[in-house]
Structure 1
Amino acid sequence: MSGGDAIEILRPSDRRLSGTIPAGGQAEADAAVAAARQALPAWAALGPRRRAALMQRWADLVALHVETIAREESLVSSRFIAETRAVDAPVAAEWIRFYAEYADKVDGAVTPTDPSALSLVVHEPYGVVVAIVPWNVPLVLAVWKIAPAIAAGNCVVVKPSELTPYSITRVAALAAEAGIPPGVINVVQGYGHTVGRTLVRHPDTAYVTFTGSTATGIQIMSDAAQSGIKPVSLELGGKSPQLVFRDHGDLDRVADNVVWGITRNAGQLCYAGTRLVVDRRVEAALLDRIVERLGRLVPGTTWSTRGTLAPVISVAQLNKTQSLVDKTLAEGAQAAIGGKGFEGETGGLYFQPTILLGLRPDMTGFREEIFGPVLGVQTFDDEEEGIALAQHPVYGLAGAVYTRDINKAIRAARSLQAGTIWVNTWGRKAADMTSPFGGYKQSGFGREAGRAGYERFLRSKSIWIDLTEP
């Protein structure tokens, strides 16, 4: 597609130029929406089994091109090739298959009436869906939006992050190769504050789904309202707790989960387990294990099989992480380890795995999402205090509870105000497709994944039929 000034795409692993993309604007946004509107009537009217068959063919092509997609995903992101090859690319194919199967599986309803009437409830697509995708796990998060939306009969305009445009563009091209008609999936490159905002405010877009920061989510809600009321679903930031009770079970396993929760993708995950809330009696033993594991991490390029600490996506992100850590230290926290950004051997930017002790609720590191490998530590003496400390006044995306007492685990899981709670583990697994994902509070609303991820792209219509004789 044509556009204005070119956007340079840098490789985070070495800060070298990988290529350029055109910076789309009003004209490109209008063209994409027009293409989606033109394709919508035929796609929505296509039998659901036909839609499903085309999507299954699309999934087969994605699976066939896993290696290429994985390399393109890793090249310009913070995702290691080992993970994009084993998880992101093949799982993207599976998500397409998963939602293809939903195309004819969600029924309408006949509601109870007296014999003189028939009350029907049917489901219909919204129309043109805008999907705005972040840079941290771009491929999977894009497919989470595109696949259910088109399975439900909508057409989609996707705005990838300008930092990570490649894999999404590749997968969209494979959809066309699979026979999905032109205009059903459209990709517009460009900046969020220009083309993204234009798409959200466009009078012909009917639904907006966004994953990213809470601040941007607030702006998207405002923009959507100003252009005429349209539904918005938001998956936003988090400050997720890892709540470790004294009866935690295998402490090495707990340490593994805590480290994975804070260092995967260099902590650049919305559900990163950034707050360790631990029983005071096991704090020292657990921290010893965590520090030992963090010390073994090796900074590496995303295409390396040796690296275990991923690069930070950009200079701006590194500077933001450093600023938030510095503020927290100035407010009285202590860095047990880490606390600084650094440049790797190949020129990539990294942030030292960091543990902040003495974290208080009034500190920056408690209140704000850092989006880096930074773990804040709080201690408690009893169950009630632990659950209270694990709550967050602003965010509620995810959390974890570590205990061998099932009653305590259920009490804590039900008490924590977050959209997902893991027990004795951390993070979504590749096979976790049926469970919905989304936040409470300012972590957003609406759900990705599972049946809920499909149903959000359908609206219901009531049809009332009078059966009395005229």
Structure 2
Amino acid sequence: MQSNLDVRIMNRGKEFFASIAGEAPSIFNKGWWTGKVMDWAMQNEQFKVQLFRFVDVLPYLNTSESLSRHIEEYFSGEDQDIPKVLKWGAGAMGGIGGKLAAGLVAKTIRANIESMAKQFIIGENTQDAIKTLRKLRKDGFAFTVDILGEATVSEAEAEAYLKSYLELLDALRGELPKWTGLGGGGSLDWGTTPMLNVSVKPSALFSQASPKDFEGSVQGILKRLIPIYRKVRELGGWMCIDMEQYKFKDITLELFRRLRSSEEFHDYPGLAVVLQAYLKDTDRDLAELLAWAREKKLPIGIRLVKGAYWDYETVIAKQNGWEIPVWTIKAESDAAFERQARVILENHDICHFACASHNIRTIAAVMEMAAELQVPESRYEFQALYGMAEPVRKGLLHVARRVRLYAPYGDLLPGMAYLVRRLLENTANESFLRQSFAEAAEIERLLENPLITLDRERARRAARTSAPSAAPIPPFTNEPMADFTRADVRQAFQQAIASVRQELGRTYPLWIGGREVFTDDRIPSVNPANPDEVIGSVCQAGREHIDQALEAAQKAFPLWRDLSPEDRAGYLFKAADIARKDIYRLSAWQILEVGKQWDQAYADVAEAIDFLEYYGREMLRLGKPRRMGRAPGEFSQLMYQPKGIAAVIAPWNFPLAISCGMTSAAMVAGNPVLYKPASPSSVVGATLCRIYREAGIPDGVFNYVPGRSSVMGDYLVEHPAISLIAFTGSMEVGLHIIEKAARVHPGQSQVKRVIAEMGGKNAIIIDDDADLDEAVREVLYSAFGFQGQKCSACSRVIVVESIYPRFVERLVEGARALAIGPAEDPAYFMGPVVDERAQSTILKYVELARQEGRVLLCQEVPNHGYYVPLTIVEGITPEHRLAQEEIFGPVLAVMKVKNFDQALEWANSTRFALTGAVFSRSPRHLERASREFNVGNLYLNRGSTGALVERHPFGGYKMSGVGSKAGGPDYLIQFLDPRTVCENTMRRGFAPTMEDDDWI
């Protein structure tokens, strides 16, 4: 039974619909090009996807050839022409030559889409914006101005964004005296509200904003937000801090609290903040914000919106294994909005409310709740987006009077990103505007209480949900990444670093045959950011210790080999649980010993857990004998057995992940292991030893034998008792191991298997239509994340000349903004390189950069510690050493090419083939790259680093390595020998029936 309030809401909503009957937003008006295209998009999902992608790339298509080519690539197939709806408006083209006609169509499409984009913005410059604002006010609408552009990749861009706001406010300063207040004149709108109102996206004011560095982000944004608010106050206006992606939510709320309560602005109430109803956190955030306002006795303003990043938030959460932060049913957001609106209205004495919605049910609900609660009209207003839902905003003006339009302005380039968001909102299946004006849904359903809609949707989903799987081991899923939006995660890192620091300086013995072995030869491992700080003293194995470890491994081999795959996998699953529970401390060891940043160290440990979980499941799959063939009278099986004792020689750059991956693969396949960690990361190696010990791996199966390569490296590789060698490191060392392992020594019973991953000279191609916001960020991360010390790091960026100046300018300025310092401080993007030898080698390449090209940037670095300057050099071509040799440090060669053909040619011009990436919005070029870019891991429109177990099996070919991909379905086979057992089942002409596999 409906409540009285719900009845009133329904009635008010019907009256509202009646008042705008026969009207439709211009975006759905089929008499115009935009309406026809939107109608087509809503009927054809594939066309919709292609249209929105084309809209996104359009500003980069600066030549007729490029424009025509992209139109053909996006909208033409072998069996279809460009949809007529796109051509509409080009006029009759009969008799016009094909090339001329194509050019005319292309220009018409560009003009129409640009016109569509301009429909949602009030101008591309201040002069046009103010002209539009005058008209809006003449029509009775107030405004809040937002300058487009939230993707700043450098401090120069953030400073330009600040400057744009100050210039806008200066322009409005001269305009305000010419205006009279809406609804009765005077200097205030509606008698209570300033005429000037601006909205600001906080992330655009600080290029390094990140939840990982929460305090640094707040301070960095405030530095530029304060001058804007100061000028707003001078003009007697209001400012609203916009809410963006979820990762910035808590930063935004903290910005609001600090600015509102600051000594300078404490007595000025003209500040509001946006809350998003689709976020699950918003009920709590709203309650805390209102309680804070009451405690501080500070009036505040809240603009409540549904939220504009639903798809983005959902995808990002799923990719990282996080809880989805948004409601997953549209009605949940609608219900949350009404619930939260009521709370705000109940607190109208301390909070001014801006109801930002085009949903007539939502608007009617707010109006009726306000009436029921006797909220003064001066304490709330309605807001709508400029260019959208014109009938709704006009209807609102008649019944509510207090209507403010959110009015973006600025360059068309960021305007296109804004346009895509608006188009997504308009054409979503559950969009209120689409259902109301494009599909003419029943008014009763449109005005239905969202709680009723929600109950119905939940029942429908429950009915179609299948019963949970009864499998004893769930399918593999990647370990979630660190979610730095959570304060407890940030605190856990700080606590873990402090805890680990209490254990520095210990001595780490060998682990052989289930016992600790101390040696007199020891190497100190130091913090590369502060070499005076000793992480630990690591005992070094000599040849005699290798012999002891081999003896222990040989003794353990028979029992371990004969253990069931399920039991061996069980040890890995137990080790994964141990690592998972200790993930922050394991990360902290890496932060201090090899200088990995918080996020990168956590990702390393998460990958180690992934290897344990994935290889355990893979052994369960491979451990089951496979029936081969279908011939009657014969039973043939393929099965696998372990190869023997494995030598695992691990790198320092992924000190836990790769070590864990190689050792766990060998052990779960039934092979005992001698594990030699790299010297700079031997303490992290000792943490892996501890994990395996706690997991109960039997004595002799895992042996920890760090040692000097000059003393025991070749001895280990060449020993006849070693059956296989798993190595990750440089090409030079890898080739040396392959050469040594190829020789057969007395007593050796089999050919040694070598699995070697040996590095790369990885390139990222920047096409002429690349999204530079994404490309610059991803190149910076791929090239300089963990100081470029990844085998997958980008060391060459190959840029098509037409986009070269824009890309390089933004790249250099973006790199200039990257702070360099100790990895334990999240304010620093880049830390030290691993040791003095690496520092010396990289500095030689920095000097080579000055000789071979023109250095665009060479950052200053701290004097103490193993730091090297972040270096970008241009003018590099394939014959230069910088284009051919792996540097393993933060030196990036920029290479300019004429076109995409040459980009592919130069990308393939090295002897390596590990990773590569392409940033392009040309479907044809992406397809070509998939075929012709010769690397083991190719990434399209994302960076070259960050491979995940199972999702991105990792490994290359040519001189980048030999063997199958780590974290993939073929990897374990390398640690096994296949065997076939075939039984003749015929007896006197009689053969048993084989029901499995349909044998007869």
What TM-score results when the alignment is normalised by the length of structure 2?
0.45
1:21–1:222: structure 2 CA closer, same or farther, 3 Å change rule?
same
Q: Which amino acid aligns with 2:706?
A: Q
- Single out whichever of 103-112 and 152-161 deviates more from structure 2: 103-112
The answer (yes or no) to whether the contact 1:202–1:227 under 8 Å persists in 2 is no
SS at match of 1:237: coil
| Residues in 2 aligned to 1:191 and 1:333: alpha-carbon distance in whole angstroms | 38
1:56 aligns with 2:56: no
1:206-241 per-position Cα deviation (integer Å, ceiling 9, x unaligned): 110100000000110111122453010111121111
Structure (1 or 2) with the greater strand fraction? 1
| Equivalent residues in 2 for 1:2-401, closer than 5 Å | 2-16=518-532, 17-84=534-601, 86-106=602-622, 107-112=624-629, 114-115=631-632, 117-228=634-745, 229-248=751-770, 250-330=771-851, 332-338=852-858, 344=862, 347-401=864-918
1:57-109 per-position Cα deviation (integer Å, ceiling 9, x unaligned): 1111111122221121221103123432x322233223212222222112443
| Residues in 2 aligned to 1:213 and 1:78: alpha-carbon distance in whole angstroms | 20
SS at match of 2:741: helix
| Equivalent residues in 2 for 1:446-465, closer than 5 Å | 446=963, 447-465=965-983
1:194–1:343: structure 2 CA closer, same or farther, 3 Å change rule?
farther
SS at match of 2:825: coil
Give how far 1:286 is off: 0.8
Q: Which amino acid aligns with 1:288?
A: E
Q: What is the match of residue 409 of structure 1? A: 926
Give how far 1:165 is off: 0.8
The answer (yes or no) to whether the contact 2:766–2:920 under 8 Å persists in 1 is yes
Consecutive unaligned residues of structure 2, counting only runs of 5 or more, are 1-516, 746-750, 989-1000
Give how far 1:117 is off: 4.0
1:15-38 per-position Cα deviation (integer Å, ceiling 9, x unaligned): 123332122110111112222222
Give how far 1:433 is off: 2.8
The answer (yes or no) to whether the contact 2:947–2:954 under 8 Å persists in 1 is no
| Residues in 2 aligned to 1:302 and 1:467: alpha-carbon distance in whole angstroms | 65
Give how far 1:42 is off: 1.1
| Residues in 1 aligned to 2:519 and 2:744: alpha-carbon distance in whole angstroms | 24
The answer (yes or no) to whether the contact 1:44–1:125 under 8 Å persists in 2 is yes
The answer (yes or no) to whether the contact 1:3–1:28 under 8 Å persists in 2 is no
| Residues in 2 aligned to 1:357 and 1:410: alpha-carbon distance in whole angstroms | 28
1:299-351 per-position Cα deviation (integer Å, ceiling 9, x unaligned): 11122222211101112111111222323432x3111111x7x6625x11222
Give the number of the structure whose alpha-carbon radius of gyration is greater. 2
What TM-score results when the alignment is normalised by the length of structure 1?
0.94
| Residues in 1 aligned to 2:957 and 2:691: alpha-carbon distance in whole angstroms | 35
Q: What is the match of residue 955 of structure 2? A: 438
1:101–1:215: structure 2 CA closer, same or farther, 3 Å change rule?
same
The answer (yes or no) to whether the contact 1:87–1:430 under 8 Å persists in 2 is no
Structure (1 or 2) with the greater helix fraction? 2
| Aligned residue pairs, count | 464
Give how far 1:369 is off: 0.6
Give how far 1:406 is off: 2.6
The answer (yes or no) to whether the contact 1:343–1:349 under 8 Å persists in 2 is no
Consecutive unaligned residues of structure 1, counting only runs of 5 or more, are none
- Single out whichever of 255-264 and 450-459 deviates more from structure 2: 450-459
The answer (yes or no) to whether the contact 2:535–2:683 under 8 Å persists in 1 is no
| Residues in 1 aligned to 2:966 and 2:520: alpha-carbon distance in whole angstroms | 33
Give how far 1:432 is off: 4.2
Q: Which amino acid aligns with 2:834?
A: I
- Single out whichever of 220-229 and 425-434 deviates more from structure 2: 425-434
1:122-159 per-position Cα deviation (integer Å, ceiling 9, x unaligned): 11111111111111111111111122222222221110
The answer (yes or no) to whether the contact 2:647–2:674 under 8 Å persists in 1 is yes
| Residues in 2 aligned to 1:265 and 1:145: alpha-carbon distance in whole angstroms | 22
| Residues in 1 aligned to 2:803 and 2:555: alpha-carbon distance in whole angstroms | 62
Q: Which amino acid aligns with 1:456?
A: Q
Aligned-pair identity in percent equals 27
- Aligned CA RMSD, in angstroms, stands at 1.9
Q: Which amino acid aligns with 1:132?
A: I
| Residues in 2 aligned to 1:204 and 1:418: alpha-carbon distance in whole angstroms | 35
| Residues in 2 aligned to 1:220 and 1:236: alpha-carbon distance in whole angstroms | 11
Q: Which amino acid aligns with 2:757?
A: E
| Residues in 1 aligned to 2:606 and 2:926: alpha-carbon distance in whole angstroms | 33
Give how far 1:467 is off: 4.4
